[in-house]
Amino acid sequence: MDYTEAHAMQTASGINSHNANGNGNANRGRDKTPSQRLTRNTILLITLILLVLATGLVVLYVELNRPRAEMPSNKDIYFGKNYDHDTFSNIGNGHLVIDREQWGAANTTQALIIPLKRPIPYVLITHIRDTWPCVNIYQCTLRMRSNQDFAIAKKGLPDIQSNFYVSDEGNIYEGRGWDWANTYANHSLAVTFMGDYGRYKPSAKQMEGFQFLLAHAVANRSLEVDYKLVAQNQTKTTKSPGAYLYQEIRKWPHFYGCGMDGAPACGIELGMKPESWDAKQ
């Protein structure tokens, strides 16, 4: 074997060795890639599972600690005004009492108004003519402020006219309240339905809210147990409280048929004169 052949053999051997080593390195590189991918996929899968579990635990915690709304019950009646400031009192079955401060009443001179003696023998029902029923607290608070402004600025009265107002949604808005006589009669609790009930029918919620108000009044001895319920059109010539509302209250046990169809005038047993039902105070 001469030098040329020996050199060729060495060269071939080196190439083969290099190829072998190169292929080995390449194979080792390819062996690592699937392993690395597997590790990354495993980490991503575990992370995703942990995120899902964490989200589920958060949702479960929120659901378990969220306040549950109680179903309304006619038996569950809350009386009185021992409630926190900036909240509405509930007189039963979700019917709220919105007091003067909450609907934005203007300050008035109470010395100009006659105190209301209790227990009260009469409940007088009126309505607001030529207007649609207000259906939420926003609309009704605006209506209350407008009614008060009209009573003071246009009628020259010291305050809004009625003791309480009932909205279409069945909430009660405090007018002159329990302590001061209304503008109609000193021996009555005047309750005004907020709408024209010659054109509109009172809602079921509205009628129920009114009944809860009366139940509250009797329970707290603000109304006599055998109080008499009358409509304004029984005490004077007027269309108030509207035909639809009048038809409803005529069905109630405390309805008193005075001043109609030849019956004695309302309040005559108390020494009240017909003009007493339009005192304008």
List pLDDT tens digits, range 226-263.
999 999 999 999 999 999 999 999 999 999 999 988 89
Q: Between the CA of residue 67 and those of 3, 70, 256, what are the distances in Å? A: 98, 9, 45
Average pLDDT score over residue span 192-206: 96
State the distance between the two ends of the chain, measured CA to CA, in whole angstroms. 140
CATH superfamily, domain 89-278, is: Peptidoglycan recognition protein-like (3.40.80.10)
Q: CA-CA distance, 214 to 8, in Å (whole number)? A: 120
Determine the number of helices (DSSP H) and then strands (DSSP E) in the chain. Answer: 5, 7
pLDDT for 256: 97
pLDDT for 41: 79
Kindly state the percentage of the chain with pLDDT values over 70.
76
Q: Specify the pTM.
A: 0.69
Residue type, 35: S
Q: CA-CA distance, 180 to 216, in Å (whole number)? A: 17
Average pLDDT score over residue span 20-33: 49
Does 71 have pLDDT greater than 60?
Answer: no
What is the domain partition of the chain in residue ranges?
1-68, 89-278
The H-or-E segment that residue 205 falls in is helix 204-219
- Least confident segment among 68-72, 214-218, 237-241: 68-72
Q: CA-CA distance, 23 to 2, in Å (whole number)? A: 32
Average pLDDT score over residue span 115-120: 94
Can you give the length of the chain in residues? 281
Residue 280 contacts by C-beta under 8 Å, 6 or more apart in sequence?
Answer: 155, 157, 183
Q: CA-CA distance, 77 to 216, in Å (whole number)? A: 9
pLDDT for 89: 83
At 37, the pLDDT band (50, 70, 90 cuts) reads low
Give the number of other Cβ atoms within 10 Å of residue 69's Cβ: 7
Does 44 have pLDDT greater than 90?
Answer: no
